[in-house]
């Protein structure tokens, strides 16, 4: 990519016309950067750079590429060569992040792949690795910094240790325009005008009746090219207004805050009244705990799910005596197979069998392994089981991919590794995004016999597993009574996708696999 700042200048000292694009244009390769440096040895070019680099280059450089802007700024400064590391989008839905901790301090040497800092996103606390080797010269944001927008500078990395001192008093550069250009569609250039544009009209009627956008529609509709100011976008989100129905009054149709206010005044777009917090009685004590980004996301998504998805629930009692006996036998075999006394043998849990049975039943009843996509239902070919794991930050659902094709031992090993990474905040986005069916097991706590879970959209079903309990049942063979381990399972279904008969059929297969676990091998 080549960017020309200006076609040419006239050097007033000797009348030589030199293309300034030769100085300001560069590719994103080291060769392009060296070309800029070699050109600066030409006295004509050097004079031009000295006279115009601060007043012309940065004012006239028009580009949507943040890296090129950063390179031009570095070239036009007296600071050593450096790289400004900015907050990346660590998940598709991430808008802001929080610096949970810095793993390196200023002056530390960095190697590619080193853990630079931990960033709390809307999904999890994730480790951010250093993008290149060098030395950490400057940290702009301390630990605990919250609501950092994507693209905001985090730190500076230099190649030589001697260059660290040059950034001791360096202030963070403002890349807000670069961030917006990189994360949103580039708006058409404004025509050059010497006078400010007239103020927008006080009230602008939308081109179509304003409608509330449902969370499902907002989640699944493809993004359209809409030009909107950040404040107007925030107002629309808070008011639940569909931006596609607003005709902007700003330059080139850009939606302004006044447009949103006008839309809110329309009868169709009246927002629901918000509930005020109850006043606390005098003398009551309490502790206010700030919401983490992850907790905010959980609250938002589950509220949307419960209020927009028509849940219904099916419960089944499952005899798990045979699967418990098989688990004990396999664990005994795994323990005897360990040759090294210091090696800890693998132990299978009943949850591993539940995940396998879940995946096999999804293959038998593919309607349960589907997404609701507003205008169609997407039936997934792969069975990727999301497993609910509780962490200090909140609930997260790492995924066992293609669980129907894996053996119990491999499922057990994957779940143990994923759960460990989840509790340490080291899950990568691909490890918790994209599941097709969810299992939530509270039976491991022993005291929960049954419960119902909230569907994780866009999935259509979730299984809630209770603890097995000994129950006295009739023994028809011996004409008496006996005890069995009975586990209650409750399936939450999205009635838009899974009808009652389909859900019942799914539970039939799931029950069959657990009550006769040998059938899972077929």
CA distances from 327 to 245, 320, 354, 420, 488 (A): 58, 10, 12, 22, 19
Residue 312's SS3 state is strand
Give the pLDDT score at 32.
45
DSSP state, 54? I
Give the pLDDT score at 282.
57
CA 291 to chain CA centroid, nearest Å: 17
pLDDT tens digits for range 414-435:
999 999 998 888 888 899 999 9
According to DSSP, the residues that pair with 135 across neighbouring strands are: 109, 158
Give the pLDDT score at 228.
77
> What percentage of residues in the chain have a pLDDT greater than 90?
41
Strand pairing of 461-465 and 437-441? Answer: parallel
Q: Within 10 Å of residue 155's Cβ, how many Cβ atoms? A: 23
Burial of 187 (0-12, 13-18, 19+ CB in 10 A): middle
State the helix-helix crossing angle for 350-364 and 321-336, rounded to 10 degrees.
120
CA distances from 166 to 139, 141, 163, 202 (A): 13, 18, 6, 50
Burial of 16 (0-12, 13-18, 19+ CB in 10 A): middle
- Considering just the CA atoms, what is the radius of gyration of the chain in Å? 30
According to DSSP, the residues that pair with 98 across neighbouring strands are: 120
In the chain, the domains with their CATH numbers are 1-78 (no CATH), 81-183 (2.40.50.100), 215-269 (4.10.320.10), 296-521 (3.30.559.10)
Give the pLDDT score at 267.
56
Are residues 87 and 142 in contact, defined by beta-carbon separation less than 8 angstroms? no
H or E stretch including 470? strand 469-475
Known catalytic residues? 495, 499
Contacts 24+ apart (CB under 8 A), 467-473: 467/442, 467/443, 468/320, 468/324, 468/350, 468/443
According to DSSP, the residues that pair with 502 across neighbouring strands are: none
Strand pairing of 134-139 and 153-158? Answer: antiparallel
DSSP state, 72? H
pLDDT tens digits for range 60-117:
444 445 555 555 555 556 788 889 999 988 877 778 888 989 999 999 999 988 889 9
For the chain, residues with pLDDT lower than 50 are 1-40, 44-45, 47-49, 51-64, 177-195, 201-224, 269-272
CA distances from 136 to 142, 157, 159 (A): 14, 5, 9
Q: Residue 277 contacts by C-beta under 8 Å, 6 or more apart in sequence?
A: none
Two structure tokens written together for 361:
């039943």
Residue 234's SS3 state is helix
């Amino acid at each position: 990519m080549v960017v020309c700042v200006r076609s040419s200048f006239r050097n007033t000292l000797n009348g030589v016309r030199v293309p300034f694009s030769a100085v300001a244009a560069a590719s994103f390769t080291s060769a392009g950067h060296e070309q800029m440096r070699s050109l600066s040895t030409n006295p004509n070019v050097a004079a031009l750079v000295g006279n115009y680099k601060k007043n012309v280059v940065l004012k006239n450089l028009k580009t949507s590429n943040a890296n090129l802007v950063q390179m031009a700024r570095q070239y036009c400064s007296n600071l050593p060569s450096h790289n400004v590391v900015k907050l990346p989008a660590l998940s598709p839905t991430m808008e802001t992040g929080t610096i949970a901790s810095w793993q390196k301090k200023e002056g530390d040497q960095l190697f590619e792949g080193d853990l630079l800092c931990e960033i709390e996103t809307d999904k999890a606390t994730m480790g951010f690795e250093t993008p290149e080797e060098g030395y950490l010269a400057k940290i702009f944001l301390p630990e605990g910094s919250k609501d950092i927008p994507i693209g905001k500078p985090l730190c500076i990395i230099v190649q030589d240790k001697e260059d660290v001192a040059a950034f001791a008093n360096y202030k963070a550069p403002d890349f807000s325009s670069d961030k917006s250009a990189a994360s949103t569609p580039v708006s058409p250039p404004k025509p050059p005008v010497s006078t400010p544009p007239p103020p927008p009209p006080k009230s602008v009627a939308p081109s179509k009746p304003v409608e509330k956008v449902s969370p499902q529609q907002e989640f699944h509709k493809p993004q359209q090219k809409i030009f909107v100011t950040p404040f107007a976008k925030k107002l629309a989100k808070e008011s639940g207004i569909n931006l596609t129905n607003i005709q902007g009054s700003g330059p080139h149709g850009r939606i302004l805050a006044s447009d949103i206010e006008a839309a809110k005044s329309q009868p169709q777009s009246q927002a629901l009244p918000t509930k005020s917090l109850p006043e606390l009685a005098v003398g009551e004590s309490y502790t206010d705990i700030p919401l983490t980004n992850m907790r905010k996301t959980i609250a938002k998504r589950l509220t949307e799910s419960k209020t927009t998805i028509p849940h219904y629930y099916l419960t089944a009692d499952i005899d798990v005596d045979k699967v418990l006996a098989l688990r004990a036998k396999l664990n005994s075999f795994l323990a005897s197979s360990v040759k090294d006394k210091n090696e800890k043998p693998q132990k299978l849990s009943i949850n591993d069998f539940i995940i396998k049975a879940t995946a096999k039943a999804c293959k038998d009843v593919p309607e349960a392994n589907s997404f609701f996509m507003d205008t169609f239902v997407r039936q997934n070919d792969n069975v990727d089981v999301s497993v609910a794991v509780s962490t200090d930050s909140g609930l997260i659902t790492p995924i066992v991919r293609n669980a129907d094709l894996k053996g119990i031992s491999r499922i057990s090993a994957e779940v143990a590794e994923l759960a460990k990474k989840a509790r340490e905040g080291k899950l990568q986005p691909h490890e918790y995004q994209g599941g097709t069916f969810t299992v939530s097991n509270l039976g491991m706590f022993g005291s929960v016999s049954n419960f119902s879970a909230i569907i994780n959209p866009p999935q259509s079903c979730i299984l809630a597993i209770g603890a097995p309990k000994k129950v006295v049942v009739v023994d028809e063979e011996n004409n008496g009574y006996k005890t069995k381990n009975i586990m209650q399972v409750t399936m939450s279904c999205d009635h838009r996708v899974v009808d009652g008969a389909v859900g019942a059929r799914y539970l039939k297969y799931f029950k069959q696999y657990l009550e006769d676990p040998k059938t899972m091998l077929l």
